[in-house]
Structure 1
Amino acid sequence: MELIVLWDIDHTLIENAGVSKEIYAAAFLALAGREPTGPARTEGRTDRLIMHDMFVREGLPVPGWPDIEAALGRAGRERLDALRSRGWALPGVHEALKAASARSGWVSSVLTGNIDANARVKLSAFGLDSLLDLPVGAYGADADLRPDLVAVARERVQRLRGVRADTPTVLVGDTPRDVEAALVTECGIVAVASGIHDRAELSEAGAPEVLSDLADTKHLLSVLESFASDGKRPGTSSGRP
C-alpha cells in the first residue's frame, strides 16, 4: 500500500518557543535596517507571504525574493542553539516519524511554510531530519499559497521516488490552512490540536480527523493506514474523533 505523508513542522512536529518570530524579525532588520514594529503573522502561511506582508505593513518596498531567502537562512542558522535550548519535539513525534518511515511503500516528508534551509535547522535541532525524506518535501520558497505546495511535493515524490501520480496523499498539520490545503487538493488530512487552534476550530475548518497530539502512535498509524488502504478523500474518515 503506497502513501505520501506530508507533515507540517511548527506546532505539529516541534514547538519553536518563539524562535520563528525572532528569525523573521532578524531577517527584516537585516534587509530594512530597522526592526519591525510588530511580530510576523504566521499561522500556516508561507515564508514568501509572511515576509512580503511584513514589508507592506511597514510601508517599505518588498526586496527581491533571493535577498529575503538569504536573510531568512542566515537568521535561522544563527538561532539553531536558541532553538535547541528553548524548543522541543512534541510528544510522540519521534515515534510517529520512525513508524511512518519504516512502512513499505510510504514516502514521509514535509509540507511547510518554512524555507528549505530553516526547515532543516528546525528538524535537525531535535534529531528529526534523518526520519524524513526531505528532498521530496515542499517548502516556503516553492509557492506563495500553501495549497500550491501540495503539487510541488507530489511532483517531487513522483519524479525522485518513482511513486505513482495517483498515490493517496495525507497532510498532517495544526492550522486551518493545513486543512484548507488538503481539502482543495483532494488530500487526506489529519489535523492536530497541538498549536493555537483547538479541536473545534480544526473541525469547523473541515478536518474529519482531529487529534489532540501525536502521542498515540498506534492510533495515528491506523488513521494513516486507512488512507493508504482505501485511497480516501477529505470528508471520509475512520478512527476516533
Structure 2
Amino acid sequence: MELIVLWDIDHTLIENAGVSKEIYAAAFSSLAGREPSAPARTEGRTDRLIMRDMFLRAGLTVPDWPVIEDALTRAGQERLGDLRMRGTVLPGVHEALKTASTRSDWVSSVLTGNIAANARVKLSAFGLDALLDLSVGAYGADAGLRPELVAVARERVQRLRGVPADVPAVLVGDTPRDVEAALATGCAIVAVATGIHSREELVAAGAHEVLPDLTDTSRVFSILESFAGHGKRPRTSFDRPQRR
C-alpha cells in the first residue's frame, strides 16, 4: 500500500554535535556584526522562527528572509567538514532509510526545520541524501510553523510524484513539535527518543508509537506498514499551504 514517510533530520537521523547551533550563531554574526548573546533555541522549530527569535532577543531588526537564508546557506556549507568530523549517523538509520527507499509504492523524504541547503549538507555529510527523495521534502524556508510544512510536502509529492491526495502520511521525529505537527494535520507519528525528550514526554505529547531508536528495522517497518493500511486521512486546517 502507498505511504508517504517524512523523516526529521537532527536527533532523528543524525547527531550534529553542536554544529547546528554554530551555523545559527555564524549566520547571526555575519548579519548583526557581533556574536549572539545566547545560543539559538531550536527543539523542532523552523529556521525562520529560530533566526527571527535570535534577532528579537538581541533587540535588533529582523533582516529580510532571503538575506537570512543566504547567511544560513554560507554558514552551513562552511561547516560540512566539522559535521563529518564531529557528527554521527544515529543507530539503525542507514538500514531504515535504505529499506524505505526500496519500497516502490512509498515516498520517503524529509520534513525538517532546516533550510533545504543545510538539510542537504547534513544528509550528504553521512551519505544519507541518496536514500531520500529530497525534491519532495518540506524545509524551514517553506513555512514558519512545522504543521504547515506537512501541506507543503503533500503538495510536492502529489505534483512531482503523482501520489493521490488521500495517501496516508507518517512523520518520524524526536520532539513534541513533530508529534504536534502530525496530530494537527491528520498524519501518523513515530517518535524516537534519540534527542533531549524522553519517551514519557513524547507519549504525553500524543505520539502513536515511541521507539528508543531506529535499530530494530523490522519493528520500524511493521509500524510504518500498519499506517499504510489506514486509508484516507481526516482533513484539517493545514491541508493547504499558507500564503506568504
TM-score with structure 1 length normalisation? 0.96
Q: CA deviation digits over 1:9-53, x for unaligned, max 9?
A: 000000000000000000000000000000000000000000000
Contact 2:6-2:111 at 8 Å conserved across structures: yes
The 3-state SS of whatever aligns with 1:140 is coil
Contact 1:170-1:190 at 8 Å conserved across structures: yes
Partner of 1:191: 191
Contact 2:188-2:208 at 8 Å conserved across structures: no
- In the alignment, the residues of structure 2 paired with residue 204 and residue 229 of structure 1 have an alpha-carbon distance, to the nearest angstrom, of 25
Q: CA deviation digits over 1:171-227, x for unaligned, max 9?
A: 000000000000000000000000000100000000020000000001000000001
Question: Unaligned stretches of 5+ in structure 1?
Answer: 235-241
- In the alignment, the residues of structure 2 paired with residue 185 and residue 66 of structure 1 have an alpha-carbon distance, to the nearest angstrom, of 28
Contact 2:17-2:87 at 8 Å conserved across structures: yes
Q: CA deviation digits over 1:94-152, x for unaligned, max 9?
A: 00000011112100000000000000000000000000000000000000000000000
Contact 2:11-2:195 at 8 Å conserved across structures: yes
- In the alignment, the residues of structure 2 paired with residue 74 and residue 103 of structure 1 have an alpha-carbon distance, to the nearest angstrom, of 35
Quote the offset at 1:73 in angstroms: 0.2
In the TM superposition, structure 1's runs of 4+ consecutive aligned residues that sit over 6 Å from their partners are none
- In the alignment, the residues of structure 1 paired with residue 223 and residue 232 of structure 2 have an alpha-carbon distance, to the nearest angstrom, of 11
Paired residue type of 2:165: A
Report 1:66-145 matches (<5 A): 66-145=66-145
Partner of 2:240: none
User: Percent of pairs identical after alignment?
Assistant: 80
- Residues 39 and 64 (structure 1 numbering): CA distance in 2 closer, same or farther, change over 3 Å? same
- In the alignment, the residues of structure 2 paired with residue 107 and residue 23 of structure 1 have an alpha-carbon distance, to the nearest angstrom, of 29
Paired residue type of 1:24: Y
Question: Unaligned stretches of 5+ in structure 2?
Answer: 235-244
TM-score with structure 2 length normalisation? 0.95
Paired residue type of 1:33: G
The 3-state SS of whatever aligns with 1:127 is coil
- In the alignment, the residues of structure 1 paired with residue 213 and residue 231 of structure 2 have an alpha-carbon distance, to the nearest angstrom, of 24
Quote the offset at 1:232 in angstroms: 8.0
- Name the count of aligned residue pairs: 234
